[in-house]
Amino acid sequence: MDSIIHYASWFLLSTGAFFCAVGGLGILRLPDFYSRQHAAGITDTLGSSLVLIGLMLQSGLSLNAAKLAMILLFLISTSPVATHAIAQAAKQSGLKPKVSAEEDEA
Amino acid sequence: MSQFIDMILLAFLIVVAVAVTRTLNLFATAVLTGVYSLLMACIFTVLDAVDVAFTEAAVGAGISTVLFLATLSLTTQREKAHHHYNWGALATALLTGGALVYGTFDMPHFGDPNAPIHQHVAPHYIDVSPTEIGVPNMVTSVLASYRGYDTLGETSVIFTACMAVLLLLQRERRGGASSALEGPTDEQSMQHAMILRVQSKIFIPLILLFALYVQFHGDYGPGGGFQAGVIFAAGIILYALVNGLEKARAIIPPNILHGLVAFGLLLYAGTGLASLFMDGNFLQYRALAHEATHGEHLGILLIELGVGITVATVMTSIFFSFSGRGRS
Amino acid sequence: MFVAAMIGVLVTMLLALIRALLGPTVYDRILAVNMFGTKTVLFISVLGYLMGRPEFLDLALVYVLINFIGTIAILKFVRFGPVEAS
């Protein structure tokens, strides 16, 4: 049982780190602000959740696991609201999404 | 491994520092300064200095960035480009810096285990603090009890800063200027702000509760008065950002706020005076109760409360002053 | 295992930092800094486990809250102050 938890935690941590790195690559390479937000959203929710759940499995049932659960809860509820607010502010200040490959007004 | 992490973080730090000096857009500079503070908090954590990292994260990356931006919204957004270089200033800076560096050759080497501070001061505190004061977190016992006088000075500095800001910014309102914190007024922006409002209704009580936890848990883990005050102020600032400055002022009237600023400092100095009246020295907490460690605990509790109240109300009133453009 | 997670988080921090330095519009920078903040939270949590001292979690908790408040503050001031698109 212990080794199952150990391997599960290892798997979750590596997958979480991988998704974070993919999101980072996306925020660098994607062409437009609105598409970069999708990349940032992946790291904020999926990557973070996997890493934090992996850490929670490491520490068993203890105060540290409870604190990690709280961090996870806060992160899941505040990151989407923050990205929503950023996107809404950008739209209201007139930033237009890049619709096709011919337009090139970044 | 931690050396490797240190090197990477320091490399990031250098990159961000260069970018801060070279960027002409002041808004981007303020945001990058926040990133710099975040990196410093990470470096402090790697160095095992958790209380310092706590304060750096809360103050440097949170409140400082908000205050810089509030200032920038009152002034201009681009730095004027310089086209001439001031060689005299550069020479003076290099000369002074060189003299200071020369002066440090007399000091013990950095991290030298034979330095007096590692032979006498630090071992004394580490040996004596559990029995004399009995508080598990040694940073708190040094900050609040052994160096309580210095902490009183720091709190007075924060108080003075608040007085200076209030004196400079309390003017008659010119009228007509819209501030960043009018709150949603028309129908469309009310709808757009709804998600933020609903979410902040859940979060602000949790933030304030967490601030109280940090305040009173400072004896056992990282925390204490300064960090708790900053987190409390951050919760109130969030309320003001989402619901508008008028409502925030209605909840915390400025008169009460200014009164609390003074009250926190008075609480701290009053504890010192109380121990004076009880046949001890100034700020000698053991005189406050019949048993020495109880006296120390009581004294540390009271002064941390004083520090927390002062810091929270000072941050809040500075924020109100900046964003209300000096309305009284 | 923690080393792998730490390297992933550091790489992501580097990429977010590059975007914060490059970002042509101001909203790119805000997005990158918000992401950098979340990565700092992960960094501190994983660092606690890497160094065997999970008491650092209070710090990560504070940082989640401060990051959120900072992002909202930046947005309010950018929208209602004099706004330039870069």
Separation of alpha carbons B132 and B262, rounded Å: 31
Closest A-chain CA to B195: A81
Mean pLDDT of B264-283: 89
The rounded percent of chain C whose pLDDT value lies above 90 is 15
Mean pLDDT of B232-236: 92
Separation of alpha carbons A65 and A58, rounded Å: 9
CA distance A95 to chain B (A): 17
Q: Which class for C23: exposed (0-12), middle (13-18), buried (19 or more C-beta within 10 A)? A: buried
Mean pLDDT of C28-42: 90
Least confidently predicted of B35-44, B46-55, B164-173: B164-173
DSSP string, B12-54: HHHHHHHHHHH--BHHHHHHHHHHHHHHHHHHHHHTT-HHHHH
Could A14 and C42 be called an inter-chain contact, meaning their C-beta atoms sit closer than 8 Å?
A: no
Write the CB contacts of B270 (distance below 8 Å, at least 6 apart in sequence): none
pLDDT tens by residue, A34-89: 888 888 887 788 889 999 999 888 887 888 888 889 999 988 888 888 888 888 88
Mean pLDDT of B173-177: 47
CB atoms within 10 A of CB B119: 11
Is the CB of residue A41 less than 8 Å from the CB of residue A21? no
Could C39 and A16 be called an inter-chain contact, meaning their C-beta atoms sit closer than 8 Å?
A: no
**Chain C interface disruption, residue of B3, B8, B23, B31, most C CBs within 10 A:** B31
pTM of the model: 0.87
| A37 contact residues in C (CB cutoff 8 A) | 31
Residue from the list B45, B57, B72 with its beta carbon closest to the beta carbon of C66 = B57
Res C80: pLDDT: 66
Closest C-chain CA to B240: C73
Is the CB of residue B154 less than 8 Å from the CB of residue B215? no
Closest C-chain CA to B64: C70
Mean pLDDT of A12-24: 91
Separation of alpha carbons C30 and B21, rounded Å: 19
Res A2: pLDDT: 82
Is the CB of residue C20 less than 8 Å from the CB of residue C36? yes
C75 to chain A, any CB pair closer than 8 A? The answer is yes
| A87 contact residues in B (CB cutoff 8 A) | none
Mean pLDDT of B293-305: 89
DSSP string, A17-57: HHHHHHHHHHHHH-SSHHHHHHHHHHIIIIIHHHHHHHHHH
| C13 contact residues in A (CB cutoff 8 A) | 24
Could B70 and C77 be called an inter-chain contact, meaning their C-beta atoms sit closer than 8 Å?
A: yes
Is the CB of residue C70 less than 8 Å from the CB of residue B65? yes
Backbone angles phi, psi at B184, to 5 degrees: -70, 125
Backbone angles phi, psi at A25, to 5 degrees: -65, -40
CA distance B189 to chain C (A): 12
B77 to chain A, any CB pair closer than 8 A? The answer is no
pLDDT tens by residue, B82-140: 778 888 999 999 999 999 999 888 888 877 778 787 888 888 888 888 888 888 888 88
Using the predicted structure, report yes or no on whether residue C25 has a pLDDT greater than 80.
yes
Name beta bridge partners: B78: B25
A81 to chain B, any CB pair closer than 8 A? The answer is yes
pLDDT tens by residue, B190-207: 566 788 888 888 889 999
Average of per-residue pLDDT values in chain B: 85
pLDDT band at B12 (very low <50, low <70, confident <90, very high): very high
